[in-house]
Structure 1
Amino acid sequence: MDIVDEINQAHRELIDGERKTIVLRRHYDAEVEDVWDACTNAERLSRWMLPVTGDLRLGGTYQLKGNAGGEILRCEPPSLLKVSWLFGDNPGFSEVEVRLSAKDGGTLFELHHTAEVPPDMWSGFGPGAVGVGWDLALLGLSLHLSGAPQVDENTFHQTDEGRRFITSSSQAWGEAHKAAGGDPEQVAATVAGVTAFYAPQE
């Protein structure tokens, strides 16, 4: 598997308004029930994303180690999961919805992340601020579902392959930003900012 080719497996979209929504769609060669289990089973989540703790049921709460936490707002196995996605002391509105459906002998995976984004953060980083993180997560899910070894999240950004993946992801989110009406100069600045954040030069 060429990991960088994983970028081309996903469709990216930005819905730009008072709240920003990034959309990721891609196909996995795995049954819906298997993808659902990989996304909701705490033991499996820890293998491709992050360790998770909490009361993992509808109405319960979750916490990803060193990352987001929140409430489980909707849970309709094996097709719909919606959670609040809160990070930091004053996170504002942020929700993530994942929809799964059977398609072409596998699973169509669709993720919507809707958030109120501070203007200074948006002007500096645009949709890639969270988009690149989700691309990295979906890479982890792809490797997990295919049985391939996971990348080392602590050093991946330092490898040639990791830097190419992050740069390609950042550029792809820049294209989605432009397609949603983003100013090309501002988009170029956000792509540079996101790339530098996720894959800083030595």
Structure 2
Amino acid sequence: MSIDIDPVAVAGLVTREVRSGERDGSPTKIAVARRDYTAARGDVWDALTDPDRIPRWFLPVSGDLVEGGRYQLEGNAGGTVLRCQAPEAFAVTWEMGGGVSWVTVTLHPHDGGTVLELVHESPVEPEFWEQFGPGAVGVGWDLGLMGLGLHLASGDAVDPAAAQAWTVSDEGKAFVGASALGWAEAAVGDGDDPADAHAAAERTVAFYTTVPEA
């Protein structure tokens, strides 16, 4: 599937929120992304949880996708399925690079379609937050939610190579820029200094749109 969209308009389909929280006595940052899809909740749930379908819009996955099971995304995070309540919600640990955070996805039926709410709660790492802010995880999720939307609309698979190339294209850079700006504004809403939040967003954009050296 080719990616032919208005990047800024699609980035604007996501509603973003940042909250400060606490887990087990330690401070956390919570990134919340919400997006409305025209697909029925059962179809969205299937796209999110069917191991044969997940790679069509996200990444190949292995493991036991049941409550208490372990999963592994190819070249990315793994973890434990903490909760699974079809077709309403699931929660997983998000384990990567020695760190653990927590992701909860909830699906709400709305006007014949579905509102997807994704909540990613992470321990506070001050230096990392100052460098990238919530866009470090938020932009990645926005890209994933875009891929899900393309798949739900057509039924086709998103080609990983095309998606990677698109991210560093002019259209992809516009999407990432709009996404990172949205997450910066959400961080400001949670109390971050506006200048610092926008500087972190610029660094996030550079991270996502710089072509790796061969």
Mapping for residues 41-120 of structure 1, pairs under 5 Å: 41-88=50-97, 90-91=98-99, 93-120=100-127
More strand by share: 2
2-side partners of 1:179 and 1:163: how far apart? 24
**Corresponding residue SS for 1:186:** helix
Q: In structure 2, what residue type is equivalent to 1:41? A: D
1:142-197 alpha-carbon deviations (Å, 9 max, x no partner)? 00000166362321222111110011111111111111111012112201110110
Out of 13, 17, 21, the position equivalent to 1:13 is: 17
Structure 1 stretch 192-201 or stretch 36-45: which is displaced more?
Answer: 192-201
Alignment correspondent of 2:158: 150
| Structure 1 gap ranges (5+) | none
Distance in 2 between the 1:137 and 1:117 partners? 23
> Aligned equivalents of 1:175 and 1:51: distance in 2?
32
List runs of 5+ in structure 2 lacking aligned partners.
22-26
Residues 11-31 of structure 1, C-alpha deviation per residue, up to 9 Å, x if partnerless? 100002410100011110000
State the SS of the aligned residue for 1:75.
strand
Secondary structure of 1:27's counterpart equals strand
Q: How many residues align?
A: 200
Q: Is contact 2:59–2:74 with CA below 8 Å preserved after alignment? A: yes
Separation in structure 1 between the aligned mates of residue 202 and residue 7 of structure 2, nearest angstrom: 21
Matched, 1:164 2:174: yes
With the length of structure 2 as denominator, give the TM-score of the two structures. 0.89
Aligned partners of 1:168, 1:101: CA distance in 2, in Å?
Answer: 25
- 4+ runs of 1 displaced by more than 3 Å? none
2:51 maps to a residue whose letter is: A
Shift of residue 118 of structure 1?
A: 1.4
For 1:3, the aligned partner's letter is P
> Which moves more between the two structures, 147-156 or 188-197?
147-156
Q: Which residue is 1:194 aligned to?
A: 204
Please report the RMSD computed on the Cα atoms of aligned residues, expressed in angstroms.
Answer: 1.5
Q: Secondary structure at the match of 2:53?
A: helix
Q: Which amino acid aligns with 1:131?
A: G
| Structure 1 position 29 matched with structure 2 position 53 | no
For 1:16, the aligned partner's letter is: S
- Pair 1:182–1:72, CA change in 2 (3 A): same
- 1:83-119: CA deviations, max 9, x gaps? 000001x20x401000001101100110000010311
- Measured in 2, the distance between the counterparts of 1:55 and 1:99 equals 20
Counterpart check, 1:129 vs 2:136: yes
Q: Cα deviations across residues 66-89 of structure 1 (Å, max 9, x unaligned)?
A: 10100000000000110000001x
Q: Residue 4 of structure 1: CA displacement?
A: 2.8
- Once residues 97 and 83 of structure 1 are traced to their aligned partners in structure 2, the CA distance between those partners, rounded to angstroms, is 6
Q: Is the 8 A contact 2:56 2:157 kept in 1?
A: no
